[in-house]
């Protein structure tokens, strides 16, 4: 079942992943789709979420995720890395990589993370923003890739933009966590736009606390991203292990609290690789 069919049937939850390992783990956990989280991909490169990496670096991360798992990938393409023509090229490259959907925001490049306290976000004028949505839609038209329009506006301006982006061809609208302050505003956005919504249940955000599956059904959310939960969990575990090792704790003691080596080798797919290797060797060698 592809992503379009999934959202027609109900809510799709997609955890934020950034490499082949996290893609595999999410698939093994039973998720139906993946979010190639720009926040997490940037962090994996050692950068904050400020559009410091290039389109090519983002695309390479997405290709790695696609190679590791067959699940549909929802990819963050930031601002499209330029104007409408740049955004269209970005969309084509990501479609060629096999992603199921892309989401693009209406900030000026370079973008700023809206979760930064006191961040002043500079948005594109509405005509330019809708033009970029049309360009991405046209680039994706023949591929079946979903186009998701993110807005960092607030209140009535966000509603105006949601309606315009849907009219420009967006398949879903993505308000950010600071766009609205109540579920009623989200419901109103769904009504105004006339297309499904995508929500980010970002760690520590109000949407993470209040957007239960039942609430999301009522307000028109069909995709729920979990963009930072895995990243924060992995970071915390890595920090603790490194702290203990740096403090002189015996490595065997630290390892005892982690995933066992043989379990890790199995979950990463070594038995299947061994089977494939044996299948291509001459019979005498396998014996």
pLDDT for the residue 110: 80
Range of the domain at 239: 234-286
| CATH number, domain containing residue 60 | 3.20.20.60
Q: Give the dihedral sign, CA 59/65/66/67.
A: positive
Query: What is the distance between the alpha carbons of residues 284 and 281, in angstroms, rounded to a whole number?
Result: 8
Residue 23 Cα to chain centre, angstroms: 11
**Residue pair 84/135 in contact by the 8 Å Cβ criterion:** yes
Within 8 A by CB and 6+ apart from 54, the residues are 81
Low-confidence ranges of the chain (pLDDT < 70): 115-119, 283-287
Q: How far is residue 13 from each of residues 23, 107, 112, measured CA to CA in Å?
A: 14, 25, 25
Domain edge (last residue) among 184, 199, 229: 229
User: Do 46 and 72 lie in a common domain?
Assistant: yes
User: Do 43 and 114 lie in a common domain?
Assistant: yes
User: Do 207 and 250 lie in a common domain?
Assistant: no
User: Do 274 and 138 lie in a common domain?
Assistant: no
Query: What is the distance between the alpha carbons of residues 15 and 13, in angstroms, rounded to a whole number?
Result: 7
Domain edge (last residue) among 229, 253, 275: 229
Phi/psi of residue 254, each to 5°? -65, -45
* Total domain count, the chain: 2
User: Do 133 and 265 lie in a common domain?
Assistant: no
User: Do 174 and 250 lie in a common domain?
Assistant: no
User: Do 261 and 148 lie in a common domain?
Assistant: no
Within 8 A by CB and 6+ apart from 15, the residues are 26, 29, 31, 34, 35, 225, 226, 227, 229, 230
pLDDT for the residue 219: 98
pLDDT for the residue 209: 96
Least Cα distance to 38 among 64, 18, 13, 67 occurs for 18
Query: What is the distance between the alpha carbons of residues 270 and 254, in angstroms, rounded to a whole number?
Result: 24
Domain edge (last residue) among 229, 249, 276: 229
User: Do 112 and 248 lie in a common domain?
Assistant: no
User: Do 269 and 140 lie in a common domain?
Assistant: no
Q: Which residue has the tokens 């390479």?
A: 60
Query: What is the distance between the alpha carbons of residues 163 and 170, in angstroms, rounded to a whole number?
Result: 10
User: Do 34 and 71 lie in a common domain?
Assistant: yes
User: Do 115 and 257 lie in a common domain?
Assistant: no
Q: How far is residue 249 from each of residues 215, 233, 236, 255, 270, measured CA to CA in Å?
A: 47, 22, 18, 10, 30
pLDDT digits (tens, 9 = 90+) for 41-70: 999 999 998 889 999 999 999 999 999 999
pLDDT for the residue 51: 87
Query: What is the distance between the alpha carbons of residues 84 and 136, in angstroms, rounded to a whole number?
Result: 8
Residue 88 Cα to chain centre, angstroms: 19
Tokens of 11: 């809510």
pTM of the model: 0.94
Least Cα distance to 231 among 14, 22, 20 occurs for 22
**Residue pair 165/150 in contact by the 8 Å Cβ criterion:** no
pLDDT digits (tens, 9 = 90+) for 184-200: 999 999 999 999 999 99
User: Do 88 and 102 lie in a common domain?
Assistant: yes
pLDDT for the residue 109: 84
């Amino acid at each position: 079942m592809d992503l379009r069919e999934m959202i027609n049937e109900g809510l799709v939850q997609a955890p934020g992943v950034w490499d082949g390992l996290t893609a595999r783990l999410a698939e093994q956990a039973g998720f139906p789709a993946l979010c190639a989280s720009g926040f997490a991909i940037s962090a994996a490169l050692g950068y904050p979420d400020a559009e410091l990496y290039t389109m090519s670096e983002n695309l390479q991360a997405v290709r790695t995720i696609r190679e590791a798992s067959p699940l549909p990938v929802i990819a963050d393409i930031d601002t499209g890395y330029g104007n409408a023509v740049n955004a269209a090229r970005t969309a084509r490259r990501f479609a060629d990589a096999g992603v199921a959907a892309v989401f693009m925001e209406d900030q000026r490049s370079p973008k700023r993370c809206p979760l930064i306290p006191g961040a002043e976000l500079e948005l594109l004028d509405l005509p330019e923003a809708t033009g970029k949505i049309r360009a991405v839609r046209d680039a994706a038209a023949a591929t079946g890739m979903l186009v998701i329009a993110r807005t960092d506006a607030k209140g009535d301006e966000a509603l105006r933009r949601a309606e315009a982006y849907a009219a420009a061809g967006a398949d879903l609208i993505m308000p950010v966590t600071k766009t609205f302050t109540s579920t009623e505003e989200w419901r109103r956005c769904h009504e105004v736009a006339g297309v499904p919504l995508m929500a980010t249940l970002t760690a520590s955000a109000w949407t993470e606390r209040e957007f239960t599956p039942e609430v999301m059904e009522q307000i028109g959310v069909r995709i729920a991203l979990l963009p930072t939960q895995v990243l924060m969990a992995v970071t915390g575990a890595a920090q603790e292990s490194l702290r203990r090792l740096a403090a002189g704790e015996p490595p065997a003691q630290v390892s005892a609290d982690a995933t066992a080596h043989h379990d890790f080798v199995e979950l990463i797919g070594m038995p299947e690789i061994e089977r494939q290797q044996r299948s291509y060797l001459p019979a005498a060698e396998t014996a």
